[in-house]
Amino acid sequence: MADTEHFVRDDVRAFLNLLEQANRPGVEELPVEEGRQGMAALNLLAEAPPRDLAVIENLSCPGPDGDIPLRLYDTREEREAGPVVLFIHGGGFVIGDLDIYHSICTEICAQLDLPVVSVDYRRAPEAPFPAAPDDCEAAARWVASGPDALGRKVTGLIPMGDSAGGNLTIVTTNALCSEPAEVPVICQVPIYPVADDVSQYESFRQFSDGYFLTGASMAFFTQQYAADPSDPRNLPLLGDCSNTPPTIICTAGLDPLRDSGRAYAGHIISRGADVTYLEFKGTIHGFINLRKGIPSAQKDVEALLGAVKNMLERSA
């Protein structure tokens, strides 16, 4: 019988071999700014080119500690009232930014034919927890208010993000369920999220070395973020998940975070949430913006966004 738990796609194996041959130091071995430059350099090499869109515009909104940079994407110059995707990038709360996630935001926008607002929240270590969740919640409430600067009437929010951004997606959704914004969260899309203590799971033991995201880098990000481990805005599985909106969640089969995502999906299903759970076998953490380095990741992204479209059609 094949070991599906450790199945590795051919293009994923080739990408991992390339990284091994490059022998770059881990992010935990570098000054923070060099780690950020390294993620940006890998993105240039391994991510697919951006889509052409009618609107790509830098904006900002008021935040708890100054303006929060945002980027608006839209396939149309003008559109009727409708939902908006609030995209929250990954990068361990430390090394991601708007530009690294630019291409995937154009892809999300093009495939869903919905406006996307990408949030450049404050990063650790300069701004540790709870700066990131504070900024994401503020940005979500600003978008929900349909401000003139956005130029679009908003009927609902779709928080979406990967890894650390998947964590912040859930945290932001929980905040807006506890204290509603001007429009509802109609669904949320956490992508290989950090939902609780990942070190307790078998996937952490299996895949924390040699599969792109390492245990050492996760420990570094956790140290920089400096969150209270008992705070549900750090580990949202600890919070109240009783009124979670429809959720599309995906994990990667070779990801040390995989079982945390599985646990979150099971937890909110047990509390009555409408959940679509996708696990992409044979691939690694970070695949949504490694689509040139791992060509099969494009089909994974299309499957994920297809599930979002199906969810939105069912709830319309």
Domain positions in the chain are 4-315
CA–CA dist 153, 135 (Å, integer): 22
Report whether pLDDT(247) > 50: yes
Angle 262-267-270 from CA coordinates, rounded to 5°: 125
Q: pTM of the full predicted structure? A: 0.97
Torsion angles phi and psi, residue 191, rounded to 5: -110, 120
Contact 188, 162 (CB under 8 A): no
Q: What is the pLDDT of residues 30-76, one digit of tens each?
A: 999 999 999 999 999 999 999 999 999 999 999 999 999 999 999 99
pLDDT in the model for residue 2: 46
pLDDT in the model for residue 93: 98
Which residues carry out catalysis?
Answer: 163, 255, 285
Q: Residue 315 — pLDDT band, cuts 50, 70, 90?
A: confident
Rg (CA), the chain: 18
Q: Give the right CATH number for 4-315 from 3.30.559.30, 3.40.50.1820, 3.40.630.10, 3.30.750.24.
A: 3.40.50.1820
Phi-psi region of 212 (alpha: psi -120 to 50; beta: other; left: phi over 0): left
CA–CA dist 180, 153 (Å, integer): 17
Q: What is the pLDDT of residues 268-313, one digit of tens each?
A: 999 999 999 999 999 999 999 999 999 999 999 999 999 999 999 9
Query: Mean pLDDT in the chain?
Result: 96
> Is 286 strand, coil or helix?
coil
Q: What is the pLDDT of residues 122-170, one digit of tens each?
A: 999 999 999 999 999 999 999 999 999 999 999 999 999 999 999 999 9
